[in-house]
Chains A and B, each alone.
Chain A
Amino acid sequence: EAQVTQNPRYLITVTGKKLTVTCSQNMNHEYMSWYRQDPGLGLRQIYYSMNVEVTDKGDVPEGYKVSRKEKRNFPLILESPSPNQTSLYFCASSLSGVRTEAFFGQGTRLTVV
């Protein structure tokens, strides 16, 4: 089954403790992206990757890192999480850039206390 898989689905952590949210897709898509979703603000793009070893900042990259060492994986790293990073996170992939249909993961609900 074609899908985007995020792990974990739920995570509660403490301020300052490094964490990684994994994202994997099995559709051989070139483009992958991370978003955060907050009440009343819609989805905001954090980082995106047009292809392996190519990453760029979205609209809200502060406090996040990403890497794209292989095509299928695009982990989101929070080196020192803070409470304002409490949010619902989505990973998405598409065949080639934003002009092709994006497939979203099921989301990761992160709480930083």
Chain B
Amino acid sequence: GESVGLHLPTLSVQEGDNSIINCAYSNSASDYFIWYKQESGKGPQFIIDIRSNMDKRQGQRVTVLLNKTVKHLSLQIAATQPGDSAVYFCAEGGGGKLIFGQGTELSVKP
């Protein structure tokens, strides 16, 4: 059933520090994982993805790590900037379905 009034997990970091956002996924059959960034008043925006046959993938200032043994996904943001402040969602995909995690709110202090 639905849980009403849950607060998002929050991560607060200092500008310039590295951020690590974690996510646990549920379906062992999922073979594709994505991180999205959602700024206030906007739709989610793709950041980086990784397939289940990989453990790590790097983009510009971002790295995604996948641990299939414990069904864990993490997003690392290097040298976090104020513009990185947003809610970050992980998502797992398989077949035609996409299942999103609850989200983590990242707050960057100047």
Contact = CB atoms under 8 A, between A and B. Distances in A.
Interface of A: 4, 31, 33, 35, 38-45, 48, 50, 56, 58-59, 90, 92, 97-99, 101-107
Contacts of B94: 98
A58 B104 CA distance: 23
Contacts of B95: 98
Interface of B: 2-8, 31-32, 34, 41-46, 49, 51, 89, 91, 93-103
Nearest to A33: B98
A90 B96 contact: no
A41 B2 contact: yes
Nearest to A84: B2
B80 to A, nearest CB: 22
24 contacts: A33-B98, A35-B100, A38-B2, A39-B6, A40-B3, A40-B4, A40-B7, A40-B8, A41-B6, A41-B102, A43-B91, A45-B98, A45-B100, A59-B97, A59-B99, A98-B93, A98-B96, A98-B98, A99-B49, A99-B51, A102-B98, A104-B44, A104-B45, A106-B42
Contact of B100 (A4, A43, A50, A101): A43
Nearest to B93: A98
